[in-house]
Structure 1
Amino acid sequence: MTSANDPLPLPANVRLIATDLDGTLLRDDKSVSDRTVAALAAAEEAGIEVFFVTGRPARWMDVVSEHVHGHGLAICANGAAVVDLHTGGRLIQARPLERSTALDVVGTLREAAPGTSFAVELSTGIHYEPEYPPFHLDPGATVATAEKLLNEDGPDSGAPVLKLLAHHGELTPDGFLDLARIAAGQLASFTRSSPTALLEVSGPGVSKASTLALCCAQRGISSDEVVAFGDMPNDIEMLTWAGTSYAMGNAHPDVIAAASGRTVANNEDGVAIVIEQILAARGDGPDRAS
């Protein structure tokens, strides 16, 4: 394991940078530092594409929308959606969770972990159960049981289900994730990015990594030409897939184990430091890392 102060040997031709947002590119106050803004712009000016790859829905991408250049695409909802940030988050591609499968997951988790509450993330917005922690950023949400929300006659019934969220008030985050994967891992993909016992459930095979791989294939970019950054379990597949990957200094232990390198914490501009090293190695800019 190496750090930003002892950098990995960088690939000869970096063509794409893939970065998570919360706990990675964003500081804890959800801001993007001036140094990071400059590093992202310099990377794209040097011909390196930058993809934001996040668990956030498109409507919560305003934190980085103004910092998107080039193609303007972002991967949201843990790989379930590719959106165009140049057009306000317009959905370009969806990899949905079938409603019938989501209902099976709900039933299985209710039995395996009594006390679980659910939210349903649609391409049009989120809806949740009365017991689920409320989304203050989404005041227009419908509140009803998951079974009603997932019914074909439920709210926005024609909209794709991007992910199901499951919350438990007593289990530990990693313990809840392990339990859910054992009970229902054959039905869907389970991960987490919250410090609480909040799971994110996607369609089978849907992840940040698999959607990033599709986007790269469309561009003729191989995994060896990708540098990725992350901090939580929902980043692990992406960090493993990328030819070069960095866990943040504040990352979950499993993420640190999965990444090929480690940079400093999100509040210390860990992503920007590595980008500066990449550009310096290419002769495209000064190496500010120290």
Structure 2
Amino acid sequence: MISSHSPRLPAHTPRLIATDLDGTLLRDDKSVSERTVAALAAAEEAGIEVFFVTGRPARWMDVVSDHVHGHGLAICANGAAVVDLHAGGKVIEARPLHRETALTVVRTLRAEAPGTTFAVELATGIHYEPDYPPFHLDPGATIATAEKLLHEDRPGSGAPVLKLLAHHPDLDPDAFLILARVAAGEHASITRSSPTALLEVSGLGVSKASTLALCCAERGISAEEVVAFGDMPNDVEMLTWAGTSYAMANAHPDVIAAASGRTVANNEDGVAVVIERILEGL
């Protein structure tokens, strides 16, 4: 096992750092430490782009919007949206979940896991079913059945669906993820980032990794030139794809297994620790 106190450095000079937010870059109180702010700025000054890659929607990116440099782009909703944080979180590219596919997943999970409730994350905001845990940060949400939330008067008339969320009040989170992937994985990409039994459903093939790969290809950046950080199952593909990757000390076991290295916990500024060592080596 690689020591979290002495993380292995990348074999190639990095050109891009891709970091998850919650449980990774952010401390548990959702703050960004002064040390981390300084490390991000130093990386950009050294010519290394920084991408925030998160399951959060664009409207919840205020936690890092003051720390965006250079391009100002972020990957949100587990790869379903590329947003410009310099333009107030404007979605500049979407990889939506087709509504019929979302309905298929809804029907499948209702049958396989009775008691599951759903929320629909649109490019314009989130809406959810009556028994779904309410979003207090989104008081303007519409509350209705998933079928009504996904209905369009005519095809293409509604806002893009960025992801479907499925919540179960009783199931073990990992067991729920396995069940959903077996039952509906042929229709959509299914992952999780919450400590509860809350699943995130995206279009088939859409993930943090696949959207990051597209963004890197546009810049002529190879996977070997990317350093990635994460802590939860929705980070696994990204950490596997990147040439060098670090699991936080607080990471899910699947993330630790997927990453090429480890660093200290998010509350100990694990991302900053690695960035500082990388910059020392340049």
Q: Same fold (TM over 0.5)?
A: yes
Shift of 1:281: 0.4
Contact 1:151 / 1:157 at 8 angstroms: preserved in 2? Answer: no
What secondary structure, in the 3-state scheme, does the structure 1 residue paired with 2:63 have?
coil
Residue 95 of structure 1 corresponds to 95
Residue 287 of structure 1 corresponds to none
Residue 150 of structure 2 corresponds to 150
Give the letter for the 2:230 counterpart.
G
Residue 57 of structure 2 corresponds to 57
Alignment of 1:239 with 2:239, yes or no, is yes
Contact 1:20 / 1:53 at 8 angstroms: preserved in 2? Answer: yes
Distance 2:9 2:173 in 1: 34
Alignment of 1:106 with 2:106, yes or no, is yes
Contact 2:263 / 2:274 at 8 angstroms: preserved in 1? Answer: yes
Could you tell me which runs of 5 or more consecutive residues in structure 1 were left unpaired when the two chains were aligned: 283-290
What secondary structure, in the 3-state scheme, does the structure 1 residue paired with 2:103 have?
helix
What secondary structure, in the 3-state scheme, does the structure 1 residue paired with 2:118 have?
strand
Residue 185 of structure 1 corresponds to 185
Report the more deviating stretch, 11-20 or 50-59.
Answer: 11-20
Contact 2:245 / 2:259 at 8 angstroms: preserved in 1? Answer: yes
Residue 272 of structure 1 corresponds to 272
What secondary structure, in the 3-state scheme, does the structure 1 residue paired with 2:62 have?
coil
Residue 48 of structure 1 corresponds to 48
Shift of 1:157: 5.1
Distance 1:174 1:10 in 2: 31
Give the letter for the 1:168 counterpart.
H
- CA deviations on 1:3-28 (whole Å, 9 max, x unpaired) are 34232142232100000000000000
What secondary structure, in the 3-state scheme, does the structure 2 residue paired with 1:118 have?
strand
Identity of aligned residues (%): 82
TM-score under structure 1 length normalisation? 0.95
Alignment of 1:116 with 2:116, yes or no, is yes
Distance 1:153 1:143 in 2: 18
Contact 1:79 / 1:212 at 8 angstroms: preserved in 2? Answer: yes
Alignment of 1:140 with 2:137, yes or no, is no
Residue 262 of structure 2 corresponds to 262
Distance 1:192 1:7 in 2: 26
Alignment of 1:129 with 2:129, yes or no, is yes
Give the letter for the 2:210 counterpart.
S
Distance 2:80 2:137 in 1: 21
Shift of 1:158: 1.8
Distance 2:2 2:276 in 1: 17
Distance 1:262 1:171 in 2: 29
Give the letter for the 1:224 counterpart.
E
Contact 2:6 / 2:263 at 8 angstroms: preserved in 1? Answer: no
Could you tell me which runs of 5 or more consecutive residues in structure 2 were left unpaired when the two chains were aligned: none
- CA deviations on 1:148-189 (whole Å, 9 max, x unpaired) are 0001139x9521000000000010000000000010000000
Distance 1:54 1:157 in 2: 27
Contact 2:9 / 2:278 at 8 angstroms: preserved in 1? Answer: no
Distance 2:2 2:137 in 1: 38
Distance 1:259 1:104 in 2: 33
Give the letter for the 1:246 counterpart.
Y
Report the more deviating stretch, 10-19 or 222-231.
Answer: 10-19
Provide the aligned length of Structure 1 versus Structure 2: 281
What secondary structure, in the 3-state scheme, does the structure 2 residue paired with 1:276 have?
helix
4+ residue runs over 3 A deviation: none
Residue 286 of structure 1 corresponds to none
Residue 173 of structure 1 corresponds to 173
Residue 18 of structure 2 corresponds to 18
Distance 2:103 2:188 in 1: 11
Contact 1:233 / 1:254 at 8 angstroms: preserved in 2? Answer: yes
Contact 1:97 / 1:161 at 8 angstroms: preserved in 2? Answer: yes
TM-score under structure 2 length normalisation? 0.98
Give the letter for the 1:149 counterpart.
L
Distance 2:81 2:3 in 1: 32
Alignment of 1:77 with 2:77, yes or no, is yes
